[in-house]
Amino acid sequence: MDALTEMLQRYDNRTAAGILARAALELETGQLYRNSSAKGRKSITAAVVAEVRTELGIRPDDQSPAVIEKIGAYLDRESERLAGVPDEESAFDRMIARGDLPSDLYDIKIVPNISLFLGEKFDREKKLIELTVRSPLREQHFGVGDDREAPRLVSLFAREFRTPFPLRNFTLLVAGQRGEHRRLDVQMAWRLYPQRVVLDGAPDLVELLRRFAGVYGVEITVDGEKGRFFLTASHDVLPRATIDMYLKAGKTVTITRLVQRNPRTGKTYAALVMAIDLDLYRSTLEHWDCEEIS
């Protein structure tokens, strides 16, 4: 491909391979990663993709998934040819963006609020959270699609845990934000006991989270609508006034959500929004918890 070769000839093979790998990543995910927001890098990426389209005979306006995959595969092959070895970090970034990275490869970080709530029982719960992420029975991932108001880079994991007492068995539901360098920030981890939350028939893990909020959530107003669970909200922080009435009534209520940023507009919003009655949830843990969990 003469035009592309000429474009990249001022770089050494390793750098040129990195440019091609980054172009493939940004093309497939629809967003810029790390230092690629610099004007020079952005322009070279656009030029590389344009040349590949010309080489493959693809129209400039064809953004179909099949075409994007075809261009990405071509860029990957050229990158590996120039580098001599695969660009593993870029490959991992692309898998993370799509939600395809095996969950046992994530570097799991648990937000402090979970440890503060659980206190001395956190170390035990931490092991259960890590096991749920690394070896889930069910999982659900949101990528970086074109739906600007859908969750982005969000993953949910669920695993059933058993005790010597069947009535104390539960499903742990974990939700986290995927990030760079294979990082997963776990921001929610809830036990769902079937005596309290109906588990049967849930088509996906978002529905399980919705059912959990139906039991332990309190009604709040988000974007002018009242409810106990919102897949997304237009703002990253909800007004305190939405839960004041519950706090005045003596309830311990916390708003849980994952903060999102739209890469095209820079706008922040929230996903998986709930206001949870922690007193009610704690009472469930105290009643059904068991030291022997497998």
**Predicted TM-score (pTM) of this structure:** 0.71
Which among 192, 172, 190, 188 has a CA at the least distance from the CA of 110?
A: 188
**CB neighbour class for 83 (10 Å; exposed up to 12, middle 13-18, buried from 19):** middle
Average pLDDT over residues 172-183: 92
The answer to whether residue 36 scores a pLDDT higher than 70 is no
User: Each residue of 125-175: pLDDT tens digit?
Assistant: 999 999 999 999 999 999 876 566 678 899 999 999 999 999 999 999 999
Cβ atoms of 7 and 44 within 8 Å: the answer is yes
**What is the spatial distance between Cα 261 and Cα 267, in angstroms, rounded to a whole number?**
6
The answer to whether residue 37 scores a pLDDT higher than 70 is no
The predicted structure's pLDDT at residue 146:
56
Cβ atoms of 236 and 268 within 8 Å: the answer is yes
Cβ atoms of 23 and 51 within 8 Å: the answer is no
The predicted structure's pLDDT at residue 35:
38
The answer to whether residue 85 scores a pLDDT higher than 60 is no
User: Each residue of 224-252: pLDDT tens digit?
Assistant: 899 999 999 988 767 676 777 777 778 88
Cβ atoms of 294 and 162 within 8 Å: the answer is yes
The predicted structure's pLDDT at residue 149:
66
The predicted structure's pLDDT at residue 43:
61
